Amino acid sequence: MTQPPVFQHSALAPARISFMQEQARDLLSFFKASLASDAHGASGVPALWCLDSQGQPIPGQPQDLMTTTRLVHSYALGHLAGHPGCEPIIEVGMAALLGPHRDRAHGGFMAFAADGGPAPTDKLAYGHAFVLLAAASAAAVNHPDASTLLKQVETIILEHFWDDEAGLMRDEFRRDWQPFSTYRGMNANMHATEAFLAAYEITGREAWLERAGRILAFFVGEMAPRHGWRIPEHYHADWSVDEAYAGNPMFRPAGTTPGHSFEFARLALQYWDLCGRPRSGLPEAARALTERAMADAWQPGGGLAYTLDFDGKVRIPDRYWWPVTEAIGVYASLMKLEQFEEDARSFERLWQAASTLFIDGKEGGWHPEVDEAGRPASNQFTGKPDIYHALQACLYALTPGLSRPHEGVRGLLLA
């Protein structure tokens, strides 16, 4: 089997390379406001906050585990890429993860570290996957507490969330680890795959790679081809598909989610590359997932529909920023593997949609959603909640390989 050529930056136009570098710098500069100089969270430690549309911390909010973990991960990538001033957010985020987010009574990590007042306390696999990702990224920048956090979150994942018999993640428990539902979901498993691959990259421990492979074997190897290359989101405890399920309209919508097909396709290529590029059919599966999602979800005015029915008919046509960023990421990976003109056209079409619909050239950051006319909207999201998706779209597209992004981003933003 001929080894595909290693991706060279010359496969991208110089103007596109410069644009992505500038976008990454702009995002890292914009989201530095998440660490407000006068903001202190639970237990009196500095906190990281979600930002409003002008880039100011939103007052009166509990500190969100998703915000904390994704900022640690993103600013670790920024530090590795050479962007100045990333360390304070990494430091504060790590202090929060080992402080107010940590549940000292029952173990694990709290979804919200609130300054008084009620906050949800259920323990979710989704959030713990991001704690693992943050810990791995902190280890990549040699944070002194990274090994402690890695050990803590590994213990919780293996004790409570990882179902070794199924080779998949359980989703949710009460704060004291009492089970309260039989729900199983694709989303938590997808982000667990991402975190397991990062943990393998940083620690070299084969068990993380094996676990990621077992998740991919189920969702990409079995579920996707069985359902026309669309991956069902929701499952019963026995991992049969629950087609009737409809939960939170943002995080557990009914049907299938093409943005997750793009994410899983990129992760499948990352895993395949880490395994030495075996004859496994994963590149073909990644392409099938990607092309099916793009054909189903691309909207006439640009952007991608949020959800589909099981036959591919658009269910929720709302357009959010993150499916576009994930599509950028997988098309960049496909371009590194095979030089097809259609991939390059799709890559550019996605960046044009991002520039036209989502990138805020005036205030900074990206608008998270747009209405039918392509104007910024706030039906599901408040402010500009997240750097993670957009930053990865910029940086991962510039890395020379399909895997080991913590190595690949090094120096990408140096002047």
Domain boundaries, the chain: 26-181, 196-377+386-401
| Cα–Cα distance, 208 to 294 (Å, whole number) | 30
Which CATH number is 196-377+386-401 given? 1.50.10.10
| Cα–Cα distance, 70 to 62 (Å, whole number) | 16
**High-pLDDT (> 90) share of the chain, %:** 87
Radius of gyration of the chain, Cα coordinates, nearest whole angstrom: 20
Is the four-CA dihedral 12, 13, 16, 20 of positive or negative sign? positive
Model pLDDT, residue 59: 77
- Residue of 73, 143, 260, 406 marked catalytic: 260
Q: Which of the four pLDDT bands, split at 50, 70 and 90, describes residue 248?
A: confident
234 belongs to the catalytic site:
no
- Residue of 101, 128, 389, 406 marked catalytic: 389
Model pLDDT, residue 45: 63
Q: Which of the four pLDDT bands, split at 50, 70 and 90, describes residue 4?
A: very low
Q: Is domain 26-181 given the CATH code 1.50.10.10 in the classification? A: yes
- Same topology, domains 26-181 and 196-377+386-401? Answer is yes
The Cβ of residue 155 has, within 10 Å, a number of other Cβ atoms equal to 12
Is a pLDDT exceeding 80 seen at residue 415? no
Q: Maximum Cα–Cα distance for the chain, whole Å?
A: 60
The pLDDT tens digits of the residues spanning 166-222 come to 999 999 999 999 999 999 999 999 999 999 999 999 999 999 999 999 999 999 999
Angle at 22 between CA 393 and CA 68, to 5 degrees: 55
Read off the pLDDT of each residue in 111-127 and give the average, rounded to a whole number: 79
Is a pLDDT exceeding 80 seen at residue 5? no
Report the mean per-residue pLDDT for the chain. 93
Q: Which of the four pLDDT bands, split at 50, 70 and 90, describes residue 339?
A: confident
Nearest to 289 by CA among 242, 337, 314, 257: 257
236 belongs to the catalytic site:
no
Is a pLDDT exceeding 80 seen at residue 7? no
Phi, psi of 182 (to 5 degrees): -105, 15
The pLDDT tens digits of the residues spanning 270-288 come to 999 999 999 999 999 999 9
Helix (H, G, I), strand (E, B) or coil at 369: strand
The pLDDT tens digits of the residues spanning 20-60 come to 999 999 999 999 999 986 556 555 667 899 999 999 998 77
